[in-house]
Amino acid sequence: MENTTQIRELPGPVRTRNKNVSWNRPEKPEHVIEIDNLRKGFGNDLILKDLSLKLYNGENLVVLGKSGSGKSVLIKCIARLLQPDQGTIKVFGQNVNELTGKGLAKMREKIGFLFQSGALYDSMTVKENLEFPLKRIKKGLSRKEIDEKVAEVLDNVGLGDTLYKMPSELSGGMRKRVSLARTIIVDPMIMLYDEPTTGLDPVTSDEISSLINDVQTKYKTSSIIITHDIECTRTTADRIIMVKDGEVYKEGKTEEFDNSADALIRSFFK
């Protein structure tokens, strides 16, 4: 049976954010990510069309939209896994498109990317999967410090007893949580989640969504969550941006989407 211990105790069975408590931006909000007029195409297909958005310090921003709307392309451009055709992306004030070599590597160290597939190394144990980025980025750690950090992040995702298991021995939800542990082990300041609940059953999806909030609270991260999962959206979102055909269609809080009469929004928020 899968261990579902989480970083913090969730209050009762309700997992959505309290809509009566507003999430207040600072008077002078710090933009950890600023995107202006981003365009990206493949061949004759234009995927992102002059898309602009800001990620505020400490918030969970959900980017919502149908499959093929450009959501995953967006976060791959942020991490420079894809090169935009036009527009600017600033991470902590630095223009990502102008970074090269060590500068780009340093920027990427501040960003945790949870891939849709999880992207664990099948030939490594859970422990080895977690040690790999830690040794590469946090050079000079002692064996004791490495072991303590691995134990900490595994406990934080409720999988402290999986150290020596292989990825093939884990369920889909467990693999996703190990992937999350591997992402947070290097203490990223920004988290990018690419469809974090896709392919998971409703109970496990709910656990992953709750863990996203737990990571935000414990590690003080600012996050972009790419999804078309409305329950994940309701659970995690401080703010929502809906994307349609590569453009921002609507921006607002969950209650604005829940109460909208717009046909496209209603197709999600039934």
Structure confidence at residue 214 (pLDDT): 93
Structure confidence at residue 10 (pLDDT): 32
Enter the CATH code of domain 30-110+190-196+222-270.
3.40.50.300
Structure confidence at residue 17 (pLDDT): 54
Structure confidence at residue 11 (pLDDT): 33
Structure confidence at residue 234 (pLDDT): 94
Count of CB atoms situated within 10 Å of the CB of 111: 23
Nearest of 64, 67, 94, 102 to residue 78 by alpha carbon:
94
Structure confidence at residue 119 (pLDDT): 79
Domain ranges of the chain: 30-110+190-196+222-270
d(CA 131, CA 259): 46
Structure confidence at residue 131 (pLDDT): 95
Structure confidence at residue 115 (pLDDT): 81
Can you give the chain as a three-state secondary structure string?
CCCCCCCCCCCCCCCCCCCCCCCCCCCCCCEEEEEEEEEEEECCEEEEEEEEEEEECCCEEEEECCCCCCHHHHHHHHCCCCCCCEEEEEECCEEHHHCCHHHHHHHHHCEEEECCCCCCCCCCCHHHHHHHHHHHHCCCCCHHHHHHHHHHHHHHCCCCCCCCCCHHHCCHHHHHHHHHHHHHCCCCCEEEEECCCCCCCHHHHHHHHHHHHHHHHHHCCEEEEEECCHHHHHHHCCEEEEEECCEEEEEECHHHHHCCCCHHHHHHCC
| Chain centre to alpha carbon of residue 117 | 13
Q: Over its length of 270 residues, how does the chain's per-residue pLDDT go in tens digits?
A: 444 434 433 333 334 454 434 444 444 458 899 999 999 999 989 999 999 999 999 999 999 988 888 899 999 999 999 999 999 999 999 999 898 898 999 899 899 999 877 678 999 999 999 999 999 888 889 999 999 999 999 999 999 899 999 999 999 889 999 999 999 999 999 999 999 998 889 999 999 999 999 999 999 999 999 998 999 999 999 999 999 999 999 999 999 999 999 999 999 987
Structure confidence at residue 67 (pLDDT): 83
Structure confidence at residue 138 (pLDDT): 87
